[in-house]
Structure 1
Amino acid sequence: MTRHPSRAAIGCLLVVLITASGCSATTPRPAPPSQAATMGPSASPTSEGRWRVGKVTGTLASGLAAPWSVVPLADGGALVSQRDDGAVLELTADGALHEVGAVPGVVSGGESGLHGLALLTTGDTPMLFAYFGAADDNRVVRMPLDGEPGSFGLGEPEVVLDGIPRANTHDGGRLAFGPDGYLYVTTGDAQQRDAAQDPDALGGKILRITEDGAPAPGNPWGTRVWSMGHRNVQGIAWTADGAMWASEFGQNTWDELNRIEPGANYGWPLVEGIAGREGFVDPVAQWATSDASPSGIAAAGDTVFVAGLRGERLWQVDTRADGAVDDPIPAFAGEYGRLRDVVAVPDGSLWVLTSNTDGRGSPGPDGDLLLRVELVPAA
């Protein structure tokens, strides 16, 4: 992510109602809990309710190098992408970690490389989708996930979508299958600012496509574009009510959490943060860039969890049916360094991926970590 000197005070969080929350100073990081993390039941996020971050109950994986995305598997394991070497790793249910394979064609550099993963298991063979920077563009491929848990391998890749603009920064990169079964792809403006306002360009958008890469039925313009006016979206998730949420890197002043509606325009590069400008949708929450730099997000019930890179904290944002949010609440400020991704898993916990080995953080002796964090009902 490219940052420029801020033109505004960036000490504290500002939310929709311009209510400030206190800022936490960075503190020394404690040693992570034991590698032998339990996978037993915790709080179980249901179709409703608000949730809070509890304690870290284990380190599921360590020694990761510039990890970017984590995808839980049905057997309790996970797949993890590594940005710089293009590797996909498998974490088995018993805690072993091995390389599934390297995605062919990944060309890393700057913030580009292997980014998001998404797994489709509806067919006879599971298909792994990957977003990555190639030599001249960003693209999405799908690959058969061959073999059995503990010994997965990658089959030959097939290009699903190419021609997404690529640069050293602002590459987007998150993939997720939505509740409707279609694949959502987040793209950055790739330093081509005007692309975000060009409805025919792939940059600066959230895309919605079929598993073959075609525009999904019901898209607002009949193209692959679902929403526009984005600078660099790196996180998408859906709350229990079906609402879609996206995290977005700002430039100098405000990072954002947006409620995503089809056909909506979120303003970049004409506005940043809450502007109240006709024709553009304002974020429902905004942060000073020093407090967030948001990447992956997850949802449990009615609460969205936002992983912060520069902010080095996990934000908890309670949502409401009218699209508004309550004041965000920080957790882990400075304790584990930069946080790249967060996912909610069926056992009622969050898995949180750190990002301190990407050249911007301060890695400890165990490299980057995948942490298991309990969830507890909000009081």
Structure 2
Amino acid sequence: MADTRRGGSIAALVLAISVAATGCTASPSPLRSSALPTAPTSAPSAEGGHWSVAGEPEVLARGLVAPWSVIPLAAGGALISQRDDGTIRELTVHGALRDVGVVPDVVSGGEAGLNGIALHEVGDRTWLYAYHATRTDNRVVRMPLEGSPGSYRLGPAEAVLTGIATAGNHDGGRLAFGPDGMLYVTTGDAGRGDAAQDRDSLNGKILRLTPDGRSAPGNPFGTAVWSYGHRNVQGIAWSGDGVMWASEFGQNTWDELNRIEPGANYGWPVVEGTGSDNAFRNPVAQWATDEASPSGIAAIGDTIFLAALRGERLWRVDTRGGAIVGDAQIVLDGLGRLRDAAVAPDGSLWVLTNNTDGRGSPRDGDDLLLRIPLARAD
């Protein structure tokens, strides 16, 4: 599915909080700006339980352009990647936006550019990892994050993994360090469906690497491949019980939320959504493509929050023991395309909108970082 964009004005954006099942929403309310929390106030449980939205979103930052990934920082503030210009931006603890630096050699076009980012600490050094397109490939690089909050800067980039095929769409691009300390990388099929079933290809996969880019010990095939048969995974997260989840773009029929297990084949391009062939792993939840087109996901306890682009909403999915509990619910609607979601140190959910493309869109410069309060639902 192409990464299409929506027109309109920021003044028209409204909010709807789900009060029960899908489609049951409260009256729209205007967005308001908010100061950053100065310290964690209600840190989320990592052990389980279900969570839901507990209030209206507040704007933490405005004026972002094609943001793709957000990392809330333990000291306050956040780092944000901008896809089209390759810039890493810092939201400071005082609520200001500043440029940290530009990731070198980023070439943007369509869905390609600067995508996911992740942080990893080794001794007294913090590395910023970035997934981005070049003229010849998609790759993962890392750069020392130098300085201190409010004055961060990027050190020299070094390659971690190269040779992932790039294209105008289906580029994957999410990075995350798992509970095991390994680096997980999602890749798209780059428009070549057969690559997803080819275990020798890096495309159409979830990869598991050591922090320096080697195939991680314990991988099922002795390579970087952790799971395969993926069309375009743009979200990964781990629930409190350690289960790994991934969101996946469908083509014309079904978008997916998958439980990820090592060595499993998720069926693309043979099957889209739920199928009857036992050789392939079925999704635990699926949506029509106009309801989702999912990108980033976040997990808190045993609840998954899924940011939808074409669907222009935030979905909540409760899980237990690796299966879903009840029906998926819409908990945020009316703010346009949602690109990423992340749990902040204070236990709130931070969500990026992605309605701009950096090339003169009517809504250019109106993208937001939102803070959404959460509370235990059980």
TM-score, structure 2 as length reference: 0.91
5+ residue gaps, structure 1: 5-20
Residue 209 of structure 1 deviates from its aligned partner by 0.3
Please say if residues 172 and 187 of structure 1, whose CA atoms lie closer than 8 Å, have aligned partners that are also in contact. Answer: yes
Alignment of 1:45-56 (within 5 A): 45-46=44-45, 47-56=47-56
Q: How much does 1:54 deviate?
A: 2.2
Instruction: Quote the residue 1:222 is aligned against.
Output: 222
Deviations 1:320-349 (A, max 9, x none): 114344210102222x11100000112110
| Residue type of the alignment partner of 1:33 | R
Does structure 1 residue 257 correspond to structure 2 residue 257?
yes
Alignment partner of 1:121 is 2:121: yes
Equivalent-residue separation in structure 2 for 1:140 and 1:168 (angstroms) = 18
Aligned equivalents of 1:144, 1:29: Cα separation in 2 = 43
SS of aligned partner of 2:372 = strand
Deviation at 1:372, TM superposition (A): 0.5
Q: Would the alpha carbon gap of residues 49 and 132 (structure 1) be closer, same or farther in structure 2, given more than 3 Å must change?
A: same
User: What SS is found at the alignment partner of 2:194?
Assistant: helix
1:94 aligns with 2:107: no
| d(CA) in 2 for partners of 1:45, 1:3 | 32
Q: Quick one: distance in 1 between partners of 2:166 and 2:364?
A: 32
Partner of 2:340: 341
Structure 2 residue runs without a partner (length 5+) = 5-20
Q: Match of 2:76? A: 76
Q: How far has the Cα of 1:63 moved from its partner?
A: 0.3
1:8-87 alignment to 2 at 5 Å? 22-23=22-23, 31-39=30-38, 43-46=42-45, 47-87=47-87
Give the partner amino acid of 1:180: D
Q: Distance in 1 between matches of 2:29 and 2:352?
A: 16
Partner of 2:355: 356
| Alignment partner, residue 157 of structure 2 | 157
Report the equivalent of 2:180: 180
Shift, 1:129, TM fit: 0.3
Greater alpha carbon shift after TM alignment, 261-270 vs 344-353: 344-353
Separation (CA, whole Å) in 1 of partners of 2:43 and 2:375: 8
1:30 is displaced (CA, Å) by: 5.2
* Distance (whole Å) between structure 2 residues aligned to residue 230 and residue 360 of structure 1: 30
Identity score, percent: 63
Rounded to whole Å, the distance in 2 between the matches of 1:77 and 1:131 is: 21
User: Is contact 1:186-1:233 (8 Å) kept?
Assistant: yes
**3-state SS of paired residue (1:319):** strand
Q: Deviations over 1:280-334 (max 9, x none)?
A: 0000000000100000000000000000011111100000114344210102222
Deviations 1:84-137 (A, max 9, x none): 000000111121110000000000011110000000113221100000011011
Q: Which amino acid aligns with 1:110?
A: G
**SS at 1:327 equivalent:** strand
Distance 1:34 1:142 in 2: 33
From the superposition, tell whether residues 24 and 363 of structure 1 become closer, same or farther in structure 2 (CA, over 3 Å).
farther
Mapped pair 1:369 → 2:342: no
Q: Quick one: distance in 1 between partners of 2:207 and 2:360?
A: 30
Alignment deviations for residues 200-252 of structure 1 (CA, whole Å, 9 cap, x no partner): 00000000001111000000000000000000000000000000000000000
CA distance in 2, matches of 1:153, 1:211: 21
Aligned-residue offset at 1:276: 2.5
Matched-pair contact (CA < 8 Å) for 1:129–1:140: yes
**Residue 232 of structure 1 pairs with residue 232 of structure 2:** yes
Cα deviation, residue 361, structure 1: 12
- Paired with 1:259 and 1:171, the residues of 2 have a C-alpha distance of 21
Using the size of structure 1 for normalisation, the TM-score is 0.90
CA distance 1:40–1:159, change in 2 (3 Å): closer
Specify the code of the residue in structure 1 equivalent to 2:292.
Answer: A
C-alpha distance in 2 between matches for 1:314 and 1:89: 24
1:191 aligns with 2:194: no
| Amino acid in the other structure paired with 1:212 | D
Alignment coverage as a number of residue pairs: 361
Q: Any runs of at least 4 consecutive aligned residues in structure 1 with deviations exceeding 3 A, and if so which?
A: 21-25, 27-31, 37-44, 359-366
Structure-2 change in CA distance of 1:42 and 1:361 (3 Å): farther
